[in-house]
């Protein structure tokens, strides 16, 4: 059995002002870098075998800060861990979204939730095959983590996925199972940010409200 400790990246300026990021490559701000350093300290209480990350800079820099804090090799970037593509909604605020795509208007180019879930769970399965019985840090995005939570524990958790929060999973012959949403190892990290992924992402907030 392999275990995955999925970490959401630190804060960016688009997080702060509630713009939809998706696959747009928005870097960490200073708050995000401080969050990454602190969660690295939390994770340093444990031993990990590998650290991987989305190739988007906000996730890869978060992972790099954590790896240095844990004195691990630099993170391996995995394209399958990239955030959900929001198509023409990327860069939009809630007001922009409501003006351009009111109600249930389809957003051109937006990736389907099922597609996100399939590519991410497949990537975790591949990692588990290549690294059996390993404890692996996976630094990625709110939408990616939410897709795995919904796959492993459908309908059970609607709590916030905050910047630099940690969520643990196990992979066995039965597939991906949730160990702990907001893993207790990151109790300190829960105080690092006051806002969650859905609050920061107007598209996700509107979808969850519908």
The residues pairing with 135 across neighbouring beta strands, listed in sequence order, are 3
Q: What angle do CA 123, 26, 189 make, to 5 degrees?
A: 70
How many residues make up the chain in this entry? 210
CA distance 108 to 91: 14
> Exposed (0-12), middle (13-18) or buried (19+): which is 175, by Cβ within 10 Å?
middle
What's the distance, Cα to Cα, between the start and end of the chain in Å? Answer: 37
Angle between helices 113-130 and 142-152 (to 10 degrees): 80
Active site residues: 9, 83
Tokens of 27: 């870097």
Closest CA to 123 of 52, 49, 197: 52
CA distance 202 to 17: 11
């Amino acid at each position: 059995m392999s275990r995955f400790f999925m970490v959401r990246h630190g804060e960016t300026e688009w997080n702060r002002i509630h713009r939809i990021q998706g696959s747009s490559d928005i870097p960490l701000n200073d708050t995000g870098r401080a969050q990454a350093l602190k969660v690295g300290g939390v994770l340093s209480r444990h031993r990990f075998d590998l650290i991987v990350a989305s190739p988007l800079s906000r996730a890869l820099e978060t992972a790099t800060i954590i790896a240095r804090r844990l004195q691990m090799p630099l993170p391996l970037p995995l394209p399958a861990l990239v955030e959900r593509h929001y198509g023409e909604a990327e860069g939009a605020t809630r007001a922009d979204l409501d003006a351009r795509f009111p109600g249930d208007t389809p957003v051109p180019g937006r990736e389907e939730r099922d597609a996100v879930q399939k590519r991410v769970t497949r990537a975790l399965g591949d990692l588990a095959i290549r690294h059996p019985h390993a404890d692996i840090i996976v630094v990625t995005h709110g939408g990616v983590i939410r897709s795995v939570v919904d796959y492993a524990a459908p309908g059970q958790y609607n709590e916030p996925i905050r910047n630099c929060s940690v969520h643990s999973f196990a992979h066995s012959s039965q597939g991906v199972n949730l160990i702990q949403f907001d893993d207790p190892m990151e109790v300190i990290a829960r105080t690092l940010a006051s806002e969650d992924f859905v609050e920061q992402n107007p598209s996700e907030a509107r979808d969850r409200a519908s």
